[in-house]
Structure 1
Amino acid sequence: MPPPDVSGADDLPLVVDLDGTLIKTDLLVETASSFLIEQPWRAGSLLGWLAAGRSTLKARLAQDTRVELASLPYNEELLAWLRAEKQRGRRLVLATASHQTLADGVAGHLGLFDEVLGSDAATNLKSHAKRDALVARYGERGYEYVGNDWPDVAIWRGAATAHVVSRSPRLIAAARQHGNLGRVMGDGRLSPLAGLLRAMRPHQWLKNLLVLMPLLAAHQYGDALSVMHALLALVVFSLTASSVYLLNDLVDVGDDRHHARKRRRPFASGQLSLAAGWLAWPLLLAAGAGLAALALPPRFLGALAVYFALTLGYSFRLKQVPVVDVLSLAALYTLRIVAGAFAVSVELSFWLLSFSMFVFLSLAFIKRYSELHAARQAGQSQPLRGRGYVQQDLELVSSLGSNAGYIAVLVLAFYIQDARTARLYAHPTLIWLACPLMLYWISRAWLIAHRGQMHDDPIVFALKDRVSWVVGALLAGVFVLARAL
């Protein structure tokens, strides 16, 4: 097909890159990530395909994986401009190093492009290869090009106008050197460090304070070595938990893009590359396990291994099984307490473990109830995406969750009567005051959930809720008084 005849700047085709430009992610990384999640036993195949060339790798991944193209994080600023240009009658061309099949899918979803050029099993349409293809098709300076990265510099050199989607001053300066700089738009991405820190969810590290509970419950806070071990266990669990958050978000990225709040997470929103997550989570896990192996008892390392194994099971399968999912979440919280006891070498308290299991089971049910309630309010009748619950489960989830919370208070009441409690506290009967406080807090949490005002993570809600902080302070005061008076 001969190159089209172009006679003026307004008639020049506007050629748009896909990865990192039209979308805030990279389809090669998206398909590779999907492949690893869906078929981890075939991970070695990626190296074989890569050895045969990037074109082969892209072709095989496009064939063996499924990416939901409609939910990808698109650059809305660029899309708005492209739609305006399309309305003016501009010819739009999608030219990408991604495989032709994926490029056709994106173009079909958007309905904007008159022509689509992509890679195939023989050609990787990137940098100079893309420039040569465009020049052969439209002539030197016969097109405008929208790109976002250093491989696009060669393409801008042959374009009539270079449009840049990036915040990098160096890249913008490189595009300007050719004297054809056009529009400059943001790419909507965070710096790798900022994005990674956000994805690690440092605010969630407060949950790991549970590893300090055995130290406090056994009143060993005067022992410097025990305190040091407990604090080190806190650091280890924070590193391990962050590695789990990264892996879980990589696994859940497709579902998160359909969630009202989770779609803003770094991986789902395209603010952070999936490749950074695949690199970071094993490093965080290795750092945590290494610290534990060097400085903490072997039993703690065993508990940490069980915790990580359970999180893997939860991420890949258990979260899709009703009731098993919330039991798994409650067990993950309780494992923090078990590991904390192993870290400071104190005897595990049956009452503390029982209380933890029931109270966190109640909170896990609140999490599922809030998701179901939000779906009902939004008029969604289908099952929760990525979960095993349907709308008919809403009332049962509420009943099971509130009952679990009240059983936790009953366990606390039984703890007061235990003989070991009498040895630990001067006036254990004062601990009875904790029961109405817990009853109030659990009842209030469920009341807020029923009103649809609960954050879908009740732990995050509690950390931001002033009343929860007041109740927590009063509970701490009750135990201090029972010990001191």
Structure 2
Amino acid sequence: MDVRVVRTDQPIYVDLDGTLIRTDLLWESVFLLARQNPLSLWRLPLWAMKGKAVLKAELARCIEFDASLLPYRQEVVEELRRARADGRRIVLATGANEVLAHAVAEHLDLFDAVMASDDAVNLTAERKLERIASIEHPDGFGYYGNSHDDVCLLDAAAAPVVVAPDRQVAQWQRGSGAPVIARDGGGLRPYLKAMRPHQWMKNLLIFVPLVMAHEFLNLPMVLDGLLAFVSFSAAASSVYLVNDLLDLTADRRHKTKRNRPFASGAVPIPGGLALAAGLLCSSFAIAALLPVAFLAMLCSYLVMTTAYSVFIKRMLLIDVIVLAALYTVRIIAGAMAADVEVSFWLLAFSIFFFLSLALVKRFTELQDFGGGAHRSKTGRGYVDVDLETIGQAGMASGFAAVTVLALYVDSSEVRHLYGEPRMMWLLCPLVLYIIVRIWILARRDQMHDDPVVFILRDWRSQIMIALGALMLLVSAYV
């Protein structure tokens, strides 16, 4: 980092959005409102029509804001602390609303004064420069900025410092030679991470009806299954993006989720919204190539998962039932895409099996928060004393899935589909092993936060799945 030598009596004015923090408080406020008071979202257009200053002020009044959770640029904070220790006056000069700006200043305990937007003035660009210029600076002033709105301020500053510049500021910096702090060079990798491609493995459930109907060698059906897989994966990623935006506060309190692209500020909120819209459009374009019934299931999935993201995930027990249903919807969608019948037995097994895994997910999340976990902290409908109940319910649901599988093996459908149905009995201990092992690891605090992804990555579980597939093949063709 190249920082020029300046006079210690030059005050430093510091921008907030994108400079001191890796995010934008206007967008943060919108998603805080969506999470905390979604019924007020209809007011956004009315506030926006009155101007950006009013919009920011109304949002600040309607949300509960915790400045300690913001993704601060620590390199900038440390640089400012050194400057203040050298006797320089530090001023937070931001377009964010004054309520939020003062909360940030109070949290950092770094600033001598705060300049911010109020109900009447949106303090950005020229308006911010006018406010700063109205104060006498015999030796000039320093300014830390990052966006195109800051170009006029950087130009006027005696000691400009560029922080993680956008394209216009980067161009200005190359011409001026101003020092740079914290270049953001993440490229496309954070966007790809935000899409959670590892979660696409869940959509392999789309192929289950094809396998169970013994149509896995039917190339047209397999092609339809692949299209359905890609469509569901794109739709799921769009939902993950929006869900992460709604969960910013809870994720930043979590020991590992705080590193997610949105929570850490690696991906800007507008960029994430654009990516989500593109993925959703791609999903529907692919779905148009498949039967209408598949499109209906895709829409059902999107409605259910959106409702889950907005409010159901905070509802006790309803959340895990909906999670289990979302996995089952994937199976039904696969059947619709390939135009095969899905059996009652498969649906019953799916509900109980995935309910057990959904309860593992909640068990692990609650365990991560530790003692004293409560709803406001976890963002869920559970508290620390629920841990044992969740564990008992999860094990019981897993055993119910094995019971359904055992009844299916003894049914007339199996005797009709399989030449040697007795071989199918070996599936029961294989599934039992997977379920019990997952719960043992969860209680040992050794479980991935998503048990479905864990099963698909864990080599022991993969062996059980491979043995199960072998039993199905042997039973069908012996």
Match of 1:441 in 2: 434
Q: Is the 8 A contact 1:96 1:103 kept in 2?
A: yes
Amino acid across the alignment from 1:122: A
Q: Is the 8 A contact 1:422 1:428 kept in 2?
A: yes
Amino acid across the alignment from 2:442: A
Match of 2:265 in 1: 270
241, 248, 259: which one pairs with 1:246?
241
Residues 361-418 of structure 1 show CA distances to partners (whole Å, capped at 9, x for unaligned) of: 1111111111222223xx4343451111122211111111111112212222222112
Amino acid across the alignment from 2:358: A
Match of 1:186 in 2: 182
* Aligned-residue RMSD, C-alpha: 2.2
Moved more, 341-350 or 16-25: 341-350
188, 193, 197: which one pairs with 1:202?
197
What's the secondary structure of 2:254's corresponding residue? coil
Q: How much does 1:269 deviate?
A: 1.1
Residues 224-249 of structure 1 show CA distances to partners (whole Å, capped at 9, x for unaligned) of: 32222211111111111112111211
120, 140, 143: which one pairs with 2:141?
143
Match of 1:363 in 2: 357
Moved more, 11-20 or 86-95: 86-95
| 1:57-456 equivalence runs, <5 A | 57-139=55-137, 142-166=140-164, 171-172=169-170, 174-178=172-176, 181-182=178-179, 184-186=180-182, 190-191=186-187, 193-292=188-287, 294-376=288-370, 379-383=371-375, 385-456=378-449
Amino acid across the alignment from 1:251: L
Percent identity, please: 43
Q: How much does 1:58 deviate?
A: 2.1
Q: Is the 8 A contact 2:9 2:139 kept in 1?
A: no
Q: Is the 8 A contact 1:55 1:121 kept in 2?
A: yes
Unaligned runs of 5+ in 2: 1-5
Whole-Å Cα distance in 2 between the matches of residues 224 and 464 of structure 1?
27
Residues 407, 250 of structure 1: CA spacing in aligned structure 2 closer, same or farther, 3 A cutoff?
same
Residues 444, 280 of structure 1: CA spacing in aligned structure 2 closer, same or farther, 3 A cutoff?
same
Whole-Å Cα distance in 2 between the matches of residues 260 and 409 of structure 1?
34
Q: How much does 1:315 deviate?
A: 1.2
What's the secondary structure of 1:95's corresponding residue? strand
Q: How much does 1:339 deviate?
A: 1.2
Match of 1:22 in 2: 20
Q: How much does 1:39 deviate?
A: 5.0
Amino acid across the alignment from 2:47: W
Q: Is the 8 A contact 2:374 2:382 kept in 1?
A: no
Q: How much does 1:343 deviate?
A: 1.4
Residues 170-216 of structure 1 show CA distances to partners (whole Å, capped at 9, x for unaligned) of: 7345235345x23x22155733x433322111111110010111011
What's the secondary structure of 2:95's corresponding residue? strand
Residues 433, 231 of structure 1: CA spacing in aligned structure 2 closer, same or farther, 3 A cutoff?
same
TM-score, normalization by structure 1: 0.91
Q: How much does 1:28 deviate?
A: 1.3
Q: How much does 1:80 deviate?
A: 1.7
Q: Is the 8 A contact 1:141 1:159 kept in 2?
A: no
Q: How much does 1:150 deviate?
A: 2.3
What's the secondary structure of 1:117's corresponding residue? strand
Q: Is the 8 A contact 1:135 1:141 kept in 2?
A: no
Q: How much does 1:434 deviate?
A: 1.7
Residues 403, 305 of structure 1: CA spacing in aligned structure 2 closer, same or farther, 3 A cutoff?
same
Q: Is the 8 A contact 1:156 1:175 kept in 2?
A: no
Aligned residues: 472
Q: How much does 1:64 deviate?
A: 3.0
Whole-Å Cα distance in 2 between the matches of residues 366 and 477 of structure 1?
27
Unaligned runs of 5+ in 1: 1-7
Q: How much does 1:40 deviate?
A: 4.8
What's the secondary structure of 1:97's corresponding residue? strand
TM-score, normalization by structure 2: 0.93
What's the secondary structure of 2:378's corresponding residue? coil
Q: How much does 1:37 deviate?
A: 4.5
Whole-Å Cα distance in 2 between the matches of residues 23 and 74 of structure 1?
4
